[in-house]
Structure 1
Amino acid sequence: MARLAERQKAFAAALLDSSLPAPVGLLGPDGEPSTRRFNVYRNNVFIGLTNALRASFPCTAKLVGDEFFMGMARVFAAAHPPRSPVLLHYGAEFPDFIASFPPAASLPYLADVARIERAGTDAYHARDEESLLPSAFAGVPPEQALFLRFRLHPSVRLLRSPFPAFTIWRMNAADGTPEPVDLAESQDTLVLRPDAEVDVRQILPASHDFMAALAQGMTLAQALETALATDAEFDLSENLRELIQMGAFVGFNLGTGESHHD
């Protein structure tokens, strides 16, 4: 068994590293060593992995062009082989890889665009839970409202970029429209899938900080204080109304140990 495991390890290593020779003992139908067949198989594996990445990161691919993207994806695939046979989930590390990939340095926003795309994939496959309706809050005593702790929908993803990553992502989406971009503008993005569709939208910095605080388990009062520190004009009522309408909450706790959900 140990010898078999070693041969499997050598086979996998050679499969993802073109500088390595074909594994010893690999024979073709004629019983002779078959390096050519192995190289074809190796190339097909890379094509499959790079195509999976292109399907998951279409905006990223559009920004750099097919040739550059395929080359970048191939380097990534060699360093990050899939850990699951389900390629639908492949590429979680790709945005961070892009951020450290020297040839992509001229597009400093590229990694954040890829993070938005990955967040959309993660949100789409997140666990389903029923979102709270406005009526769920009807029984909350006004004097206890600021002590509420919310449970966010499992699909919620928050992203912060020093670049206009949301605008660039939207421009390069299938129905996107080119528009002027100020690369000095920072943007925050909220990704959520309460139902069948993934909702991706730009949010203000204070709204990002408010949701991040709630996600950390802070009370409504603490999250409000965090948001006001970012923007003194933060509108609590408007933000709560919009988040409830979006389906961002699946439960809340009154601070008495009593949990509520629809």
Structure 2
Amino acid sequence: MFERQKHFASALLYPAMPVPPGLVGPDRQPSEKRFNVYRNNVVVGLVDALKAAFPAVLRIVGDEFFAAMARIYVSRQPPESPVMLDYGGTFPDFIEAFRPANSMPYLHDVARLERAWAEAYHAAEVSPIDHAVLATIDPDSLPHLRLTLHPSARVVRSCIPVVQIWQMNIDRGKPTGVDITIGGEDALVLRPHAEVEVRRLPVGAAAFIHAIAANHSMNEATTLALDDHADFDLAGALRDLFMIGAIVGLSPRASDSGHLRGIDESA
């Protein structure tokens, strides 16, 4: 039974494969035409799921290009879970390697940002710590402090202005020319309350958040952030993270709760 199911699933995504054995029409004969209708409906459904998950990418490339690209992805990366919210996690990497998209070197980073947005939207809800707690922290304990990030927190690092490109391709934004040679943007994607927020990060902040996610102490995270950029502002980064609700816990000792899912780094 398992082999028959495996063959049936493969045949749905590969038009060159024959109709699976045992599938017959009312005349008790194999019906390729009927199966092709079902096959097409499955592929169209998966392509539509990708369109819904990557609206900015869709707007940038247009429906025809997106559909052709998505069909190839579907044939190579069928769903591994019945939960369609999980589908498309590898789509940004596929776009990066997709040669027809080489003329749009920013496209895969826009897709990474959209994927981070979707993951943040569906992440667990946890109450952030009030920013007033900063005033109660003993300065002498600060270097050893470990912070816990909100489960929705995602960082996307890009060598192009990814936030700018993404913003003008969603919510009826007006596309304008963007000089992708002016430098990159790091983004923090977060859903501390009801809405997902996308924020540009100041220099060094992405490395700092990454270090917090890896359960480094404040002192270790600061060192890594300064290694990333000499102008990193620790006080400003801490203030911002608490103010926007990105911190949900703190501890003077190591714990396993400070990880960050979905960090993206592309140079």
Separation in structure 1 between the aligned mates of residue 204 and residue 13 of structure 2, nearest angstrom? 45
TM-score normalised to structure 2 length? 0.90
Does residue 1:119 correspond to 2:116, yes or no?
yes
TM-score normalised to structure 1 length? 0.92
Return 7-16 or 45-54, whichever deviates more.
7-16
Question: What secondary structure, in the 3-state scheme, does the structure 2 residue paired with 1:159 have?
Answer: strand
Does residue 1:166 correspond to 2:163, yes or no?
yes
For 1:213, the equivalent position in structure 2 comes to 211
Cα RMSD of the aligned pairs, angstroms, is: 1.7
For 1:196, the equivalent position in structure 2 comes to 194
Identity %: 48
Return 225-234 or 167-176, whichever deviates more.
225-234
Aligned pairs, number: 255
Separation in structure 1 between the aligned mates of residue 131 and residue 2 of structure 2, nearest angstrom? 57
Give 1:140 deviation, angstroms: 2.4
Matched residue type, 2:24: L
Give 1:256 deviation, angstroms: 8.7
For 1:48, the equivalent position in structure 2 comes to 45
Question: What secondary structure, in the 3-state scheme, does the structure 2 residue paired with 1:142 have?
Answer: coil
- Stretches of structure 1 that go unaligned for 5 or more consecutive residues are none
Give 1:93 deviation, angstroms: 0.8
Give 1:159 deviation, angstroms: 0.9
1:169-184 alignment runs, 5 A limit = 169-184=166-181
Residues 138-166 of structure 1: per-residue CA shift (max 9 Å, x gap): 44222112221101111111111111221
- How has the CA–CA distance of structure 1 residues 50 and 256 changed in structure 2, closer, same or farther, with 3 Å as cutoff? closer
1:100-119 alignment runs, 5 A limit = 100-119=97-116
The structure 1 residue matched to 2:184, chosen from 172, 183, 186, is 186
Matched residue type, 2:210: A
Task: Determine if contact 2:73/2:91 at 8 Å carries over to the other structure.
Answer: yes
- Stretches of structure 2 that go unaligned for 5 or more consecutive residues are 258-267
Task: Determine if contact 2:203/2:231 at 8 Å carries over to the other structure.
Answer: no
Separation in structure 2 between the aligned mates of residue 172 and residue 256 of structure 1, nearest angstrom? 41
Residues 70-91 of structure 1: per-residue CA shift (max 9 Å, x gap): 0110111111111122212211
The structure 2 residue matched to 1:153, chosen from 146, 150, 154, is 150
Task: Determine if contact 2:203/2:232 at 8 Å carries over to the other structure.
Answer: no
Separation in structure 1 between the aligned mates of residue 228 and residue 66 of structure 2, nearest angstrom? 37
- Which is greater in Rg? 1
Matched residue type, 1:224: T
